[in-house]
Amino acid sequence: MRTVRALRSRRDLRPSDRRVTDDGATGDNVTRDQPRDTSGEADRRFGSARRGRGRHHHEARSIRLDNVTHAYGLGRGTSARRLGTRGAGGSGDPDDAELDAEHRSALCSLRDLSLQVDAGESVALLGPSGCGKTTLLRLVAGLERPLAGTVSLGPELVAGRSGRSAAWVPPESRRVGMVFQDWALFPHLTVERNVGYGLRRSKHTAGHVAGALELVGLSGLADRMPSTLSGGQQQRVALARALAPRPGVLLLDEPFSNLDSSLREDVRSEVRRLLIELGMTTVFVTHDQDEAFVVGDRVGVMSEGRLVQIGTPDSLYRHPANAFVANFVGTASWLPARVSNGCAHTVLGRLPLHRAAAPARSTGQRRAAPSTGAVEVMVRPEQLRLAPAHRGPGCAADIELVEFYGHDSMVVVNLEGTRLRVRCGPDPAVRRGDAVAVEFIGTEVVAFPTSGHGSRGADEAVPARTERRISAAPAAHQQHPVDSLTAQHR
């Protein structure tokens, strides 16, 4: 295929070959409107970004997904219309009757999902296993094709339909770097050759590799083999390989999941510092709330293929769009209550309600603030305080469990049959079985209509949906992920 393309002149290139040059190269640094950089100017600009002299990376690109639907294992004959996705009407196909609402939902790993990431912004995607987080990354990288909707990088449409024309830019031409969950290092290659894998061979290649290793603090390990490195070092090698081609977008798929807890905190802080210095557009996928809040300028919460809510970590934690978000982005206790005159009447007394609705930008949904009737009130552990049992009638509770974490402790109490979690200092001075009083010390609470989904015990987990995949076999057009994202002309 490359031989055929090399014989065609530039004016004869098809739209799908928009980044193929006269010599057949499809490298990340070659664009239709920009000549190759042979002067070393890219190295100087990249070094400036490395030293933190700019707000964002000189090639940072925005990401936009509009009404994207994706399904695994479907044949080419399956249409968006048959799955009932946006932008398609009824088909008249008698087989469509068999695809009822529940079946259509089970087929789709992503459904009508929209997301906007600005250039230089870091967005963390949070959600349970199987909610579609990794699928979203693979769509941006070009390792999957959307069934419906469009994907754009900067001003360029890279996947989907615009009017009557269909666009598809292959992974190696999207200038996207990706760090995989298992890092995907080549065990038979040195650190230097791993980082340089796929880079176009030129007099600047060694400089690109050395610069990437310097960024991640591994300058002295270029000749080492991956098997001789620690887990944190291997993770940084994978990050350096993703940064070496100077991508416009960086995707990280749970890169810290294989590290132990103490090392994970150190590495994620280093990565966050590096991303801030580079100002690179980043999408980070995790199921760990702490990681999402540390790495992301904004955090999006996904559930069953949909983006439920996206906002700053503070807004998600304090004003969740629904009970699922409230449970997933932090510890929440739930109290039955009745609303009147802007207050929730609970066993803890009258609690002021937060009246403003919290929008979920991707879905257009809003959390309706109930004005009257029965509700469930969300209380965070830091909004409660323990006091001696004689301090207040009606608030007497028994301590069921004390969880010690070093920097603080979590105390589980039983208040008239309702379990509440109370955050205390590192020395709570209480024991299991003690009688205490519980006081509310917060400023306001968030309430949701009573439906049973918010009320859950202190030690119950949020249910995770297992994504249903019709077939595990990859589509014919897919390549190995590492080869696809690093297939620059060598």
Residue 98 lies in a domain: no
Do 248 and 273 belong to one domain?
yes
Q: How far is CA 13 from the centre of its chain?
A: 36
**For residues 123-155, b (16+ Cβ closer than 10 Å) or e, as one string?**
bbbbbbebbbbbbbbbbbbbbbebbbbbbbbbe
Q: Which of 306, 329, 349 is the last residue of a domain?
A: 306
In this predicted model, what pLDDT tens digit does every residue of 441-478 receive, in sequence order?
A: 999 999 998 865 444 433 333 333 333 333 333 333 44
In this predicted model, what pLDDT tens digit does every residue of 140-185 receive, in sequence order?
A: 999 999 999 999 999 999 999 888 888 999 998 999 999 988 888 9
Do 71 and 176 belong to one domain?
yes
Would you state the structure tokens that stand for residue 366, as one six-digit string?
A: 């809003």
Closest CA to 309 of 187, 167, 126, 160: 126
Among residues of the chain, what percentage have pLDDT more than 70?
Answer: 69
Q: 247 by DSSP, 3-state: which?
A: coil
Whether this prediction's pTM lies above 0.75 is answered by no
Q: Which of 263, 282, 306 is the last residue of a domain?
A: 306
Higher pLDDT, 187 or 26: 187
Beta-carbon-side half-sphere exposure of residue 149 (alpha carbons within 13 Å)? 27
CA–CA dist 260, 290 (Å, integer): 14
Range of the domain at 234: 63-87+104-306
Which residue type occupies 19? R
Do 283 and 175 belong to one domain?
yes
> What is the mean pLDDT of the segment spanning 320-324?
92
Do 191 and 340 belong to one domain?
no
| DSSP string computed for 177-207 | EEE-TT----TTS-HHHHHTTTPPPSTTHHH
Q: What is the structure's pLDDT at 123?
A: 96
> What is the mean pLDDT of the segment spanning 10-31?
37
Do 328 and 406 belong to one domain?
yes
Give 333's contacts (C-beta < 8 A, 6+ positions apart). 378, 379, 380, 381, 384, 418, 419, 420, 421, 458
Structurally, how many domains does the chain consist of?
Answer: 2
Do 400 and 264 belong to one domain?
no
In this predicted model, what pLDDT tens digit does every residue of 67-81 receive, in sequence order?
A: 999 997 654 444 444
- ∠ CA 484-488-489, nearest 5°, is 135
